[in-house]
């Protein structure tokens, strides 16, 4: 079983004030806002230890050898699956035996921000800095919530239990029920003089800079998790997680399909017939592409490993270049005569009138290929 006393650095007979003081000291140095991601796991351990040892009932269970923060921890019993007689009363009468005060330090909410990137950044990955408006630990009170020089005190109504008992009448007679103390909100303590900066919350709103490493291969809708970079919890509790959702901007030249890229390259009719070498601007810079003699409209030339990097695994997709043969217009008399001579040499003055099957367009064929037809 984890030694929570050792984590906080206090003896087993430490007073509540000693435990609280040790937690504050460690929280200030290990909080992700200060220590970064390296201190995240240690901060979570410290917060878990404080949650148990600051609660009288949970601490008693822990001292008896039961970790109430572990899955299935704490005393159970009843009719199987953890449902007992006490649960029946809680269902019908709104409460059972007091479970102890609620810790003021609680985990914060997760946050979501969106990041716009271009195709090049999606293909190769990028390191970006984001400005995030979020809740951070109040530096005036260090998350305690009390005005500097003051401290919280035990609630006079519930005497630190965090709950009060009342008698309710039912068809079974008088039933003793419990409810959170309205005077302290269930915390067991009250803050007579709240911190002027956070009003007793232990956290304030602030803008901070977060660095996110965007891996190659992300696409619109991809979410990147930054652990413990979300909202700081009430009472200076551990922060939630920050999720960065990617939105990829469209590109002027390339269309992305998975990790492959597609583009259209216009080629003059004569170059398609005779063959040539052209220079194509890609994400990796200028690349030479061979147009073979007799290249037909819609033919695809594939350039391997010039697409988007794979998000899971190594390697990259391909760049597929769709050839668009351009038929010349506005011919001069000399050019027209030359084409007529070529037509005569090829015996094409009167083309064969027989019909052929419909020729699908470039992106129609691409659609069929992607759909598995």
Return binding residues for Zn(2+): 138, 141, 155, 158, 181, 184, 195, 198
Closest CA to 158 of 185, 138, 134: 185
Question: At residue 73, what are phi and psi to the nearest 5 degrees?
Answer: -70, 160
Q: How many CB atoms lie within 10 A of CB 249?
A: 11
Q: How many CB atoms lie within 10 A of CB 262?
A: 19
CA distances to 31, 238, 290 from 43, in Å: 6, 7, 59
Burial zone of 290 (CB within 10 Å; 0-12 exposed, 13-18 middle, 19+ buried): exposed
Closest CA to 37 of 213, 228, 212: 228
Strand (E) or helix (H) holding 113 = strand 111-117
Four-point Cα dihedral 72, 78, 79, 81, nearest 10: -10
Return binding residues: 138, 141, 155, 158, 181, 184, 195, 198
Closest CA to 123 of 224, 215, 212, 252: 215
> What is the distance, to the nearest Å, from the Cα of residue 156 to the centroid of all Cα atoms in its chain?
43
Write the CB contacts of 333 (distance below 8 Å, at least 6 apart in sequence).
Answer: none
DSSP state at residue 316: B
């Amino acid at each position: 079983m984890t030694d929570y006393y050792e984590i906080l650095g206090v003896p087993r007979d430490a007073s509540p004030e000693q435990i609280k003081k040790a937690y504050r000291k460690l929280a200030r140095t290990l909080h992700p806002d200060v220590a970064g991601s390296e201190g995240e796991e240690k901060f979570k351990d410290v917060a878990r230890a404080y949650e148990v040892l600051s609660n009288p009932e949970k601490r008693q269970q822990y001292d008896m050898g039961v970790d109430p923060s572990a899955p299935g921890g704490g005393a159970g019993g009843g009719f199987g699956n953890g449902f007992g007689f006490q649960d029946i009363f809680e269902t019908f009468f709104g409460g059972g035996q007091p479970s102890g005060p609620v810790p003021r330090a609680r985990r914060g909410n997760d946050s979501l921000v969106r990041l716009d990137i271009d195709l090049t950044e999606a293909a190769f990955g990028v390191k970006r800095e984001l400005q995030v408006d979020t809740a951070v630990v109040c530096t005036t009170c260090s998350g305690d919530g009390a005005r500097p020089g003051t401290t919280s005190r035990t609630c006079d109504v519930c005497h630190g239990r965090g709950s009060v008992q009342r008698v309710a009448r039912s068809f079974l007679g008088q039933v003793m029920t419990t409810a959170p103390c309205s005077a302290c909100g269930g915390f067991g303590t009250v803050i007579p003089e709240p911190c002027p900066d956070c009003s007793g919350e232990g956290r304030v709103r602030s803008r901070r800079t977060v660095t996110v490493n965007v891996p190659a291969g992300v696409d619109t809708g991809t979410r990147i998790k930054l652990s413990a970079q979300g909202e700081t919890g009430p009472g200076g509790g551990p922060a939630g997680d920050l999720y960065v959702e990617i939105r990829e901007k469209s590109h002027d030249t390339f269309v992305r399909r998975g990790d492959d890229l597609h583009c259209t390259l216009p080629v003059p009719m004569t170059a398609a017939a005779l063959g040539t070498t052209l220079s194509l601007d890609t994400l990796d810079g200028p690349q030479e592409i061979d147009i073979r003699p007799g290249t037909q409209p819609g033919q695809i030339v594939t350039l391997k490993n010039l697409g988007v990097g794979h998000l899971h695994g190594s390697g990259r997709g391909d760049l597929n270049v769709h050839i668009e043969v351009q038929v010349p217009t506005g011919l001069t008399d000399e050019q027209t005569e030359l084409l007529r001579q070529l037509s005569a040499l090829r015996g094409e003055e009167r083309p064969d009138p027989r019909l052929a099957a419909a020729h699908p367009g470039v992106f129609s064929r691409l659609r069929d290929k992607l759909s598995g037809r």
